[in-house]
Amino acid sequence: MHIVHLSAVNNWGGGENHIENLCKELQNTYPEVKNTIFCVKDKVFHNRLKQTNLDYVTPKLAVKFDPRYFIKLGFYCKKHKVDVIHIHDTSAIVLAILADKFFALPPFVFSKKTSFPIKQRKKTLYKYNYPKIKKILCVSEETKNVTAQAITDHNKLITIYHGTNLATKSSQTDFLLREKYNIPTDKIIIGNIANHIRAKHLDTWIDVANEIINVKKDNRFYFVQIGTFTERTEPLLDRMNELGLEKHMSFLGYTPNASNFIPQFDITLITSQSEGVPQVIYESFYHKTPVISTDVGGIPEIIQHKVNGLLAPMHQPVPLADCITELANDKELQEKFITISYQKLLDNYTTAQMAAHTMEIYTEIVNQTH
């Protein structure tokens, strides 16, 4: 069996981490299956794949529907007898459809990794209901429910949680947060890993720090944010300075192997307004760092409030700040969350389980095709 994985994004994020994890796991567990990643030439994902032994092809993508990408895909599929094309982002769907029009490609699988509703526009609905898409793999039940509103055939929808790769875990970092940013040993580090995109709502991150530092006057905490800067970054930094938080907070930008820093966090804080399930939750479970999060998307499927973490509504910094104070003051609660979350990860959310479920889908589709 030969699977091609399509990525048409320029940055590195949870979606690309999922592709890498999935392909590594499939390579180790099912060596008879060939996996080839199509990713944009000379972008972050391409540069990262150079450090792996994964097979990849790097078409150029200068504009959204660059013919160099979909023509290369078409010729590759014909030459290498590809069995399934696994599409990993929305831009790649259109590229696959365009290639199919010219080359009659093999069947598609699409991974829906966010809980954004699909827009009820004719072209968008055509794209997601394209007949070559045989299965839509949803990252959570909430993502599945949201996606169902736009999909005609609900039998195509299946939930496969992504999980984390236990074999690649490390706490090795090029520097220590406390040393580099002169964070005193008695400060509690509140960490966040998220690219500066709308879904992550890092404005709430700033608001939470303001509530704790300036309103509650609680200076026990230091906030560390790791993630790729975008056009949203400058307003965030301006707001941080306006609120006088620059001595209580650091933005690191894109940092390779960002999850390796999680053991240096005392608490992971997620302030997203939309999610499938963020990878940082699984990574925090593994590294035994307790999690506080907004209750959006599939997150409540992974974290039960006051059972293995704390949840609060999105866009509401005061309840999130109260959660931080509560957890910081209760070591027993921290230990409870860590213990339950770690076991939950091992039982349900590993890449080995994800790869096995995904492989079942590939096999089913190939058997139906032949």
138-182 pLDDT per residue, tens:
999 999 999 999 999 999 999 999 888 888 889 999 999 999 999
Instruction: Give the alpha-carbon dihedral of 224, 225, 226, 230, to 10 degrees.
Output: -150
Token pair of 295 as six digits: 């209750």
Distance in angstroms (rounded) separating the CA atoms of residues 104 and 11:
29
Q: Quick check: 32 pLDDT over 90?
A: yes
Picking from 284, 273, 297, 265, the residue whose alpha carbon sits closest to that of residue 197 is: 273
Domains and CATH numbers, the chain: 2-163+350-369 (3.40.50.2000), 168-348 (3.40.50.2000)
Task: Determine the Cα–Cα distance for residues 66 and 59; give it in Å rounded to an integer.
Answer: 9
* Averaged pLDDT for residues 49-61: 92
Compute the distance between CA of residue 90 and CA of residue 7 in angstroms, rounded to an integer. 9
CB 190 within 8 A of CB 266: yes
Q: What is the pLDDT of residue 65?
A: 87
Q: How confident is the model at residue 259 (pLDDT cuts 50, 70, 90)?
A: very high
- Whole-angstrom distance, CA of residue 23 vs CA of residue 3: 10
| CA dist list (Å): 204 to 193, 248, 257, 273 | 14, 16, 25, 9
Through-space distance between the first and last CA atoms of the chain, rounded to whole angstroms? 12
Q: What are phi and psi of 242, to 5 degrees?
A: -60, -35
pLDDT in the model for residue 145: 95
The H or E element spanning position 67 is: helix 67-80
Strand, helix or coil for residue 340: helix
pLDDT band at 74 (very low <50, low <70, confident <90, very high): very high
CA atoms in the 13 A half-sphere facing the CB of 235: 11
Give per-residue pLDDT as tens, 283-335. 999 999 999 999 999 999 999 999 999 999 999 999 999 999 999 999 999 99
> Is this model's pTM higher than 0.75 or not?
yes
Q: Which two tokens stand for residue 206?
A: 């700033």
Task: State the chain's mean pLDDT as an integer.
Answer: 94
CB atoms within 10 A of CB 197: 17
Work out the pLDDT band at 10, boundaries 50, 70, 90. confident
Within 8 A by CB and 6+ apart from 311, the residues are 292, 293, 294, 295, 299, 300, 303, 305, 323
Rounded to an integer, the average pLDDT of 89-96 is 93
**What is the pLDDT at residue 115?**
84
Residue 312 and residue 324: Cα distance in Å, rounded? 11
Strands 108-112 and 84-87: parallel
pLDDT for residue 156: 97
Q: Does the pLDDT at position 93 exceed 80? A: yes
CA separation for the pair 237, 362 (Å, rounded) = 45
Q: Residue 195: what residue type?
A: N
How confident is the model at residue 114, as a pLDDT? 84
Q: Where in the chain does DSSP place strands (E)?
A: 2-6, 34-38, 55-57, 84-87, 108-112, 133-138, 157-159, 188-193, 221-226, 249-253, 267-270, 291-294, 310-312
Q: How far is CA 222 from the centre of its chain?
A: 24
Nearest CA to 276 among 18, 45, 25? 18
